[in-house]
Chains A and B, each alone.
Chain A
Amino acid sequence: MVSSINNNSYEKNIVLLRSAFREYYFKHSKIIEIPERIEEREFGFMLFEAGMIRHLSFRNIGELLATLIKEVPSDVYCSNAYYRFPTYDMHEKQWVGADLIFDIDAKDLHLPCEAMHSYIICANCGEPQEIKADVCIYCKTGKLNHVSIPCNKCNYGLKKEVKHLVDFLISDLGIKEKTISIYFSGNNGYHIHISDIEFHRLDSQARSDIIGYLIGNDMMTESIGIRKAEASSDGFLVKFPKSGMMYGWRRRIAQKLGIDQTSTTKLHNMVQQKGGYSGFKAELLKMAKDIGVRIDPQVTMDVHRIFRMAGTINSKSGLTKIRCNNEIESFDPLNDACLLSDKEVNVEMKVPIKLKLRGQSFKIRKETARIPVYAAVYLICKGLARVN
């Protein structure tokens, strides 16, 4: 997200980013993950100053790496789908299946810390905005972008959500742990890829049903044994379902309500307390939403999407989308995914900033500063600095 100001510094920004990214692809090619069945995937590049190209295909990782070093895209994408003809138009590609993917993003968690570290930047002139407005107060045009410098609390909240999701995936959906790959997205989120072949064939509608399950949508009182009685709108009957309350959502709800399967009395009283059937129904819907996982539904439903490729740089931050399965507890994105060069460059700051990257604290008050490339790229990508 390098703002497109038509002057010298914009050009200079791009030169810096390109050279930093090229060096990364040269030095860190090992981190780039070779997608399974690479020849059946569609690839796409976002190019600096030239937009998106899609429908690319590579037969092996060598071909892809050579192109990355030559073209230096700002972002690299790969389809989660497998196609018979990945380079054809969408309706002629012949879809064979797709990995199941989940996206957990800080924007969906609505964390209270968000407001403390967000900035509004004009997409046209690149100037940060001091006050909330519809258009840029400087150039009077432009779309306003929100950028965020994630903090530890963000990361903690995200990881908690990831673990919550993984619990659902393993204990409910029966997905084998070894087929779950967890990646830091490169900005402020995590991507969870499921390579379990059993799930490949699911169409978008089936995936949407999985999403409903995970986020806690459309839970019926009947599925925990509360039925509407004929006569009045609030009358009800309680009888636990044949298949019991021991597993899955029923267990989660039972736990939350503090009921067990031996007696319906307690549940009966609770429903009564909520004013009967409809009152309890509303309560249950809310409860399920609270217990559910916060994921971006669109990402999972789309079976033709191209998706940021693991091991490549995210141009919203200059950080790498990187696997963190085993180290999820201790994973620190601002350290572990920060892999660009530490040569120093001069930058001009748009706002004063406090930041910790790769173990080093930066407290930049002055208008200009000399900082390592990894920090400079991070701030430029966020739109908070420019090359001097």
Chain B
Amino acid sequence: MVFLLQYIYKLLSTLSIKLGTGDIAKYPFLNEASDYIRETHFDFEEFNRPEMRHIINRAAERMETELISGTIYQKLDKYEVEILTFLVTLMVAKYIGIGLILKKYSLFEAMRAERFLSEDLKKERNEQRKHLLLSKIFEELFKVTVDVDSTDNRLFKVRVTDYLMRASHFHEQEWKLINRLVHMGYVYLDAEETVRLIRSELSTLIYNRVKSMTLSTFPETIKLKADELRVKLVPKYEHSIYRVTGYYPPCIRHALKVMNQGENLPHSARLMLATYMLAIGKSIDDIVILFHNAPDFNEKITRYQVEHLAGTKGSHTKYSVPSCEKLRNENLCFATEECSGIINPSQFGRNSKNYNG
């Protein structure tokens, strides 16, 4: 009987607890934010009104901070402002239409949300609100169940399989399962670590929001701002895009293409790219820039790894480019006729030169 009453009480109290407007301001990708836009019957043409200039400037400021300075935008305003600002940034990204810029912006927005979320999880004293946040973001959006540890509410637990599906793609050693507390099918994490797990899904979510956006026309004010921004962004992003020329062997061309689209490359492909670029005499700096476009780019780690391959760090052995045979086995080979007679990508193009004298 007592149990039943407790249960009913719990049920009632969760029903009465809802996401606050403050949450929607921090997490404007939540379904609740889209609901808000719909319910207020907001018309995109309203962005052309002078009162909206503030929002549009703010959106541009946010994108510049993240895409040019490379830092997370910190400001947080009222939810009405935040929802609209976010919406404008998405429209601008759509209008600019460069996949790489969108990828990068999505990643920064994911990290911005990540920061708010781990703060919230650390500070929130009300257990029910904490659960609500967890279920709204982790469960509803990504089908990951996160529980608060019953003895220590600073700790969160996730199923070991949910953990592995994500963390096994991270490169840092501390994310290896063996360096985690694992017990009875759960991995125990602190707030930051828990939130880090879904970074790439969050950024994919934002990316897809933009991709699936269907807009027949853009408000003039947004077009103007987007053009302004494009002028500032393109040189920066063109610089980091290695041009995919006919000069590289097909395997390298393919990997560069994937990389330039901001997709995740498997470790074996990164190794191939880095050793190849070293072999043809690119500098370590240039190679580090090349990996800028990887969704999980971390300058320090990448530099260390490239230096290691170059033999300037660690074991002091210089790594050579994997053979064509090895690359074929790893499904990284995309051989064309030009590849005939070579056994290592670094030989590509040399043979023909020899023939022509």
A171-B183, A174-B160, A174-B186 known; A212+B165 contact, CB < 8 A: no
Within 8 A of A (CB), among B220-271: none
A352 CB–B CB distance under 8 Å: no
Of B159, B174, B179, which contacts A198 at CB under 8 A?
Answer: B159
Question: Cβ of A199: which chain B residues have Cβ within 8 Å of it?
Answer: 161
A205 CB–B CB distance under 8 Å: yes
Question: Cβ of A175: which chain B residues have Cβ within 8 Å of it?
Answer: 185
A212 touches B161 (CB 8 A): no
A241 CB–B CB distance under 8 Å: yes
A243 touches B155 (CB 8 A): yes
Within 8 A of A (CB), among B163-199: 164-165, 167-169, 173-174, 176-186, 188, 190
A183 CB–B CB distance under 8 Å: no
- Alpha-carbon distance A206/B176, docked complex (angstroms): 10
A206 touches B168 (CB 8 A): yes
B154 CB–A CB distance under 8 Å: yes
- Alpha-carbon distance A11/B137, docked complex (angstroms): 67
CB distance from B148 to the nearest CB of A (A): 13
A353 CB–B CB distance under 8 Å: no
- Alpha-carbon distance A171/B160, docked complex (angstroms): 12
Interface residues on A, range: 20 to 34
> A214-244 interface mask toward B, CB cutoff 8 Å, 1 = contact, 0 = none?
0011111011000000000000000001111
Of B173, B181, B186, which contacts A250 at CB under 8 A?
Answer: B181
A202-B164, A205-B168 known; A171+B178 contact, CB < 8 A: no
> B185-216 interface mask toward A, CB cutoff 8 Å, 1 = contact, 0 = none?
11010100000000000000000000000000
- Alpha-carbon distance A250/B183, docked complex (angstroms): 10
Q: How many residues of B contact A (CB 8 A)?
A: 26
A172 touches B167 (CB 8 A): no
A210 touches B182 (CB 8 A): no
CB distance from B172 to the nearest CB of A (A): 10
Of A173, A216, A222, which contacts B182 at CB under 8 A?
Answer: A173
CB distance from B49 to the nearest CB of A (A): 49
A201-B165, A209-B164, A218-B173 known; A247+B179 contact, CB < 8 A: no
CB distance from B250 to the nearest CB of A (A): 18
B177 touches A223 (CB 8 A): no
CB distance from B184 to the nearest CB of A (A): 5
A206-B165, A218-B179, A220-B179 known; A242+B184 contact, CB < 8 A: no
Q: Which residue of A lies closest to B331 (CB)?
A: A91
- Alpha-carbon distance A247/B188, docked complex (angstroms): 11
B173 touches A213 (CB 8 A): no
Question: Cβ of B190: which chain A residues have Cβ within 8 Å of it?
Answer: 242-243
CB distance from B171 to the nearest CB of A (A): 11
B179 touches A223 (CB 8 A): yes
B182 touches A213 (CB 8 A): yes
A213 touches B161 (CB 8 A): no
Q: Which residue of B lies closest to A218 (CB)?
A: B176
A172 touches B176 (CB 8 A): no
Of A173, A217, A218, which contacts B185 at CB under 8 A?
Answer: A173
A174 touches B184 (CB 8 A): yes
Q: Which residue of A lies closest to B182 (CB)?
A: A248
CB distance from B328 to the nearest CB of A (A): 14
Q: Which residue of B lies closest to A221 (CB)?
A: B179
CB distance from B160 to the nearest CB of A (A): 6
B165 touches A242 (CB 8 A): no
A209 touches B167 (CB 8 A): yes
- Alpha-carbon distance A241/B169, docked complex (angstroms): 24
Question: Cβ of B185: which chain A residues have Cβ within 8 Å of it?
Answer: 173-175
> A249-267 interface mask toward B, CB cutoff 8 Å, 1 = contact, 0 = none?
1100000000000000000
B178 touches A219 (CB 8 A): yes
Of A174, A208, A219, A246, which contacts B179 at CB under 8 A?
Answer: A219
Of B164, B165, B176, B184, which contacts A171 at CB under 8 A?
Answer: B184
A310 CB–B CB distance under 8 Å: no
- Alpha-carbon distance A374/B286, docked complex (angstroms): 67
- Alpha-carbon distance A201/B160, docked complex (angstroms): 12
A375 CB–B CB distance under 8 Å: no
Of B152, B159, B178, B188, which contacts A213 at CB under 8 A?
Answer: B178
- Alpha-carbon distance A199/B161, docked complex (angstroms): 6
A174-B186, A242-B154 known; A247+B181 contact, CB < 8 A: yes
A198 touches B168 (CB 8 A): no
Question: Cβ of B178: which chain A residues have Cβ within 8 Å of it?
Answer: 212-213, 216-219, 223, 249, 288
Question: Cβ of A243: which chain B residues have Cβ within 8 Å of it?
Answer: 152, 155, 181, 188, 190
Question: Cβ of A173: which chain B residues have Cβ within 8 Å of it?
Answer: 160, 182, 185
> A91-129 interface mask toward B, CB cutoff 8 Å, 1 = contact, 0 = none?
000000000000000000000000000000000000000
Question: Cβ of A205: which chain B residues have Cβ within 8 Å of it?
Answer: 168-169
Question: Cβ of A250: which chain B residues have Cβ within 8 Å of it?
Answer: 181
- Alpha-carbon distance A188/B152, docked complex (angstroms): 46
- Alpha-carbon distance A286/B184, docked complex (angstroms): 25
A175-B185, A242-B155 known; A223+B180 contact, CB < 8 A: yes
Q: Which residue of B lies closest to A250 (CB)?
A: B181
- Alpha-carbon distance A348/B80, docked complex (angstroms): 91
Question: Cβ of A220: which chain B residues have Cβ within 8 Å of it?
Answer: 173-174, 179
- Alpha-carbon distance A174/B188, docked complex (angstroms): 13
Q: Which residue of A lies closest to B155 (CB)?
A: A243
CB distance from A241 to the nearest CB of B (A): 7
Question: Cβ of A208: which chain B residues have Cβ within 8 Å of it?
Answer: 168
A247 touches B177 (CB 8 A): no
- Alpha-carbon distance A329/B181, docked complex (angstroms): 31
Q: Which residue of A lies closest to B181 (CB)?
A: A243
- Alpha-carbon distance A171/B184, docked complex (angstroms): 5
A244 touches B181 (CB 8 A): yes
Question: Cβ of B155: which chain A residues have Cβ within 8 Å of it?
Answer: 242-243
Within 8 A of B (CB), among A288-330: 288
> A146-175 interface mask toward B, CB cutoff 8 Å, 1 = contact, 0 = none?
000000000000000000000000011111
- Alpha-carbon distance A199/B165, docked complex (angstroms): 10
Q: Which residue of A lies closest to B157 (CB)?
A: A243
- Alpha-carbon distance A243/B179, docked complex (angstroms): 12
- Alpha-carbon distance A300/B137, docked complex (angstroms): 33
A222 touches B169 (CB 8 A): no
- Alpha-carbon distance A218/B160, docked complex (angstroms): 18
Given contacts A172-B182, A212-B177, 11 further A-B contacts (CB under 8 A): A172-B183, A173-B182, A174-B183, A198-B159, A199-B161, A202-B164, A206-B161, A210-B177, A223-B178, A248-B181, A288-B178
List 10 A-B pairs, minimum CB-CB distance, nearest first: A174-B185, A247-B183, A206-B164, A223-B179, A209-B168, A243-B181, A213-B177, A248-B182, A206-B168, A174-B184
14 of the cross-chain contacts (CB-CB < 8 Å) are A171-B184, A174-B185, A198-B161, A201-B165, A202-B161, A202-B165, A205-B169, A212-B176, A216-B178, A246-B183, A247-B183, A247-B184, A248-B183, A249-B182
